[in-house]
Amino acid sequence: FKLIRFLNFLSEIGDPHRFLKNPILIAGTKGKGSTASILGNCLKECGYKVGIYTSPHLISLRERIQFQNHPIEKEEFTELTFYLKKLIKMHKLTFFESLTAIAFLFFLRKPHDFVILEVGLGGRLDATNVVNPIISIITRIDYDHTEILGKTLSRIAYEKAGIIHTEVPLITFHQRKSVDRVFQKVCNKKNSKIFYSDDYFSFHLLEISTKGTTFFVNFLKETFENNFKEDIIHTNLIGEFQKENIGLVLTTLLLLSKNHKLINYSAIKRAINNVPLLGRISYISYNGGFLIIDTAHNPISIKSLKETLTKINNSKKYYFLFGVSKDKDSYKMLKFLKPVSQEIVFTKAKTKRATPLNKLKELAKKIKLKHTAFSSVKKAFNYVFKKANKEKKLLIITGSFYLAGEILKSLFHNKK
């Protein structure tokens, strides 16, 4: 990918990326979407108007482009698509570049105070990286998309570090030394200051359940306007790993509060308590039973899901409905799920990227994982939901955004 083609296209439509107010870029392997949603909700609750651009989507493509937590309206999306159609074709833009351009134009039409942009892939050459951010945020780095980003963590970190702009602060947390070294090197070169969220906040898990997660938080360096040195923070998001994302958001808000006076701690706390985010260990009541839908789609996310399920109930095993993309390390993912799996049901979402069922069955046999498979997602869901419900066990649907989206569409088919 080369950004020059996209920049040439943008110049023909008036360089909308140059006029976005207070853009914030978020890159990383895990937690980008959660961080974007938490941050956006906090700024909105503080009284700011916020545009958020994320990917991928679950139910509707329009979910990716939101203003004040509402997706772009169908009419406006169609109108902007039609307006850009010829130029998109002429410049041979990718699908992601086209959507990014639509998002830029949409946000410019709105009276926005901030725009939060989640990087699609990598960072350095991503379409979102044409903006001049006021802050760059990098979440956890791990192995994913290695065929594009590189086989080592330092190479992956280098691609993500592409969102660090000259004299623009980076907010991240201490990770593996190989990752930290890359960020430090790039920041030195760009004269950018690094703010490590774990230097500012420490989190101790108090409780985790299907209702959310509660942390005891220490403010280690600076405080908000209320001067709290410690507090208890609850979020509706399920998982101890959310402390990484919340820590990044709190550090970002601390930094922003120097120049944006509406930022206040009580609004932040309210927003963290009620983040509008579907598909991140989402606990759903359905047809007399319960299920969890999680978009974990790489080993690090599946590991976090497994750890969360263990913490919710250490002695329980769960039924799984699992489908995964071909380019993922499905063997490692299944190994993580084995200790908490009663039975795993494999299926294929409607995408060319889906892993063939035979391959998943082979891997399951290899690690002695009880399994069955259905090519139809509907049949697979009906089979495993009925079984889990009968045994009063929780059903976990995971492995890919495609599968999570397909299930959500069929459960709530009135959503378009």
Angle in degrees, CA 88, 126, 192, rounded to 5: 140
Question: Two tokens at 197?
Answer: 């969220």
Q: Is 14 domain-assigned?
A: yes
Q: Which among 196, 213, 236 is the end of a domain?
A: 196
- 149 and 38 belong to one structural domain: yes
Answer with the one of 196, 223, 242 that is the final residue of a domain.
196
Report the candidate in 102, 42, 29, 94 with the shortest Cα–Cα distance to residue 71: 102
From first CA to last CA, the distance across the chain in angstroms is: 32
139 part of a folded domain:
yes
Q: Could you tell me the residue range of the domain that residue 378 belongs to?
A: 282-411
Q: Is 413 a residue whose pLDDT tops 90?
A: no
Q: In whole angstroms, give the CA distance from residue 109 to residue 202.
A: 39
Six-digit token string for 183: 């960020």
Mean pLDDT, range 321-331, rounded to an integer: 94
Residues 158 and 35 in one domain: yes
What is the rounded average pLDDT of the residues 82-93?
97
Helix 74-91 to helix 95-109 angle (10° resolution) is 130
CB-based contact 152:43 (threshold 8 Å): no
Verify that 78 and 172 share a domain, yes or no.
yes
Residue 302 lies in a domain: yes
Answer yes or no: do 184 and 300 share one domain.
no
Q: What CATH number did the domain enclosing 381 receive?
A: 3.90.190.20
| The predicted structure's pLDDT at residue 416 | 42
* Calpha distance 225→321 (Å, rounded): 46
Please check the confidence at residue 98 and state whether its pLDDT lies above 90. Answer: yes
pLDDT at res. 411: 82
Domain end residue (candidates: 152, 179, 196): 196
Contacts 24+ apart (CB under 8 A), 218-226: 222/254, 224/253, 224/254, 224/257, 224/263, 224/264, 224/265, 224/268, 225/257, 225/264, 225/265, 226/264, 226/265, 226/266
Helix, strand or coil for residue 364?
A: helix
Residue 205 included in any domain: no
Q: Is residue 348 part of a domain?
A: yes
Task: Kindly indicate the confidence band of residue 147, based on its pLDDT and cuts at 50, 70 and 90.
Answer: low
Q: What is the DSSP letter of 360?
A: H
186 and 317 together in one domain: no
Are 68 and 179 found together in one domain? yes
Same domain, 170 and 307: no
C-alpha torsion sign, points 45, 48, 49, 54: negative
Distances (CA, A) of 289 to 122, 269, 384, 408: 39, 31, 12, 15
Task: Answer yes or no: do 7 and 141 share one domain.
Answer: yes
Pair (192, 304) in one structural domain:
no
| Residue 284, SS3 per DSSP | strand
pLDDT of residue 150: 64
In the structure, what pLDDT confidence band is assigned to residue 11 with cuts at 50, 70 and 90? very high
Q: Residues near 258 by Cβ (< 8 Å), separated by ≥ 6?
A: none
- Does the pTM surpass 0.75? The reply is yes
Instruction: Count how many domains the chain has.
Output: 2
Bridge partner residues of 320 (DSSP): 344, 396
DSSP-assigned letters across all residues of 23-40: EEEEE-SBSHHHHHHHHH
* Residues 129-148, mean pLDDT to the nearest whole number: 87
* Residues 197-218, mean pLDDT to the nearest whole number: 97
Residue 257 lies in a domain: no
Say if 238 falls within a structural domain.
no
- Are 59 and 182 in the same domain? yes
pLDDT at 187: 98
| DSSP state, residue 318 | E
Radius of gyration of the chain (CA): 21
**Residue 235 covered by a domain:** no
Same domain, 187 and 289: no
What confidence tens digit (pLDDT) does each residue in 343-356 have? 999 999 988 889 99
Q: What CATH code is carried by the domain that includes residue 25?
A: 3.40.1190.10
What is the rounded CA–CA span in Å between residue 324 and residue 363? 13
Calculate mean pLDDT across residues 90-110: 97
